[in-house]
Amino acid sequence: MDPGYRSYAAQTGHYFDRPHAGLPVAAVSGRAAWRGDGLADEAWSRAFGSGELAEIENGLAVAEASGKPLSSWKREDVPWPGLAALLESGRRELIDGRGFLLLRGIPVERWGRERNERFFWSLGLHLGTPGAQNPQGDLLGHVEDTGDDAHDPQVRLYRTSAEIAYHCDAADAVGLMCLNRGERGGASRIASSVTVWNELFRARRDLAERLFEPVSLDLRNEERPGMRGWIEIVPCRHDAGKLRTFYHSDYFRSVSRHGADAGFGEFERELFDAYDAIARTDGVFLDMELQPGDVQLISNHTIIHARTGYEDSPEARRHLLRLWLSL
């Protein structure tokens, strides 16, 4: 039986297959070039209605009755005809619009863990093709504090409560579904990578143009035997008026642990410091305080995302589902 998802290698290859016609000669315009202080909540969030939730549940019941394992479900296994226009609009928003949206109102407490996972996976099927999130083939990530040491350079920070710096994931889009909030903190912070690049271009064109050349990315011990500990990635590609960016502040910086051969020097440090400073500027970024039942979807081509640190308590432990998608 064919799987209903892409392998990690196939998804990563698809994501980085970005067209490039040449460097921009001016700031890049379009709906993806937004600022946080210029957006109203109603422009990017929408709650499911009772009728839509009933259709979601009916479609899930049909798929569940098929007896197929979740990883083999296809779009047609989960019939949501009444949601087709909404989901296609959301898909176009991720590809050609501002690059993010927030869907609200999923009854996560009533549904329970298994049905929440089935819904989120099915949403991915209707938007695109879900994919593995690491070489081990994990398909649905659970973002929660497992007690791992955030100071260990090999630890994936989503498994801790620490702040996470701006980055992109190696898939066209990433989704987060909030199952439970922590005691405090943990805001999802996003910024337009188009806006950040534009501001960098206006201030330091030499730094902005460096992003169209290969940059070393630390593999954090996920390399295969015989490989060196980093690979080279070109962060920015530009074609037909669209700027697509892959950025990973922590992994671009930690490559310095591999020594001079990895190509991290003072110019690269200056570049990442300047890029991060723009993205952290008040008015540029947008913070979302995800509530249980919220689903955030963002483009990894036009959005960089981060997370503020958080604290759990015995009564409130932060828990999100994560989904990677090819569009």
Instruction: Note the pLDDT tens digit of each residue in 240-266.
Output: 999 999 999 999 999 999 888 898 999
Put simply, whether the predicted model's pTM sits higher than 0.85 gets the answer yes
- Asked whether residue 66 is domain-assigned, the answer is yes
Question: What H or E segment, with its residue span, contains residue 200?
Answer: helix 193-203
User: Would you say residue 266 lies in a domain?
Assistant: yes
Residue 143 lies in a domain: no
Residue 145 lies in a domain: no
Please indicate, yes or no, if residue 280 is contained in any of the structural domains: yes
Beta-bridge mates of residue 141 = 322
User: How far is CA 122 from each of CA 23, 41, 48, 57, 115, rounded to the nearest angstrom?
Assistant: 38, 26, 15, 11, 10
Local confidence band at 227 (pLDDT 50, 70, 90 cut-offs)? confident
For 97-101, what is the mean pLDDT? 96
The model's confidence at residue 310, banded by pLDDT at 50, 70 and 90, is confident
- Confirm whether 1 is domain-assigned: no
Comparison of pLDDT for 124 and 228, the residue scoring more: 124
160 falls in which pLDDT band (50, 70, 90)? confident
Backbone angles phi, psi at 175, to 5 degrees: -120, 145
Residue 218: which pLDDT band, with cuts at 50, 70 and 90? Answer: very high
| Helix or strand run (H / E) with residue 224 | none
- Read off the CATH number of the domain in which 88 is found: 3.60.130.10
DSSP state of 315: T
Spatial separation of the C-alpha atoms in residues 15 and 172, rounded to whole Å: 6
> What pLDDT does 153 receive?
60
Res. 222: pLDDT tops 90: no
- Tell whether the model's pLDDT for residue 141 goes beyond 70: yes
Instruction: State the number of CA atoms in the 13 A half-sphere of 171 facing the CB.
Output: 26
- Asked whether residue 2 is assigned to any structural domain, the reply reads no
Quote the pLDDT of residue 260: 86
CA distance 71 to 129: 11
Q: Which residue has the higher pLDDT, 89 or 149?
A: 89
| Band of residue 35 on the pLDDT scale cut at 50, 70, 90 | very high
Overall number of domains in the chain: 1
Q: Is the pLDDT of residue 112 over 60?
A: yes
Long-range contacts made by residues 137-144, C-beta under 8 angstroms, separation at least 24? 137/7, 137/8, 139/5, 139/71, 140/321, 140/322, 140/323, 141/321, 141/322, 141/323, 142/319, 142/320, 142/321, 142/322, 143/176, 143/318, 143/319, 143/320, 143/321, 143/322, 144/317, 144/318, 144/319, 144/320
What is the extent of the structural domain holding 279?
Answer: 8-20+29-137+150-305+313-326
Q: What is the pLDDT of residue 232?
A: 96
Q: DSSP label at 168? A: -
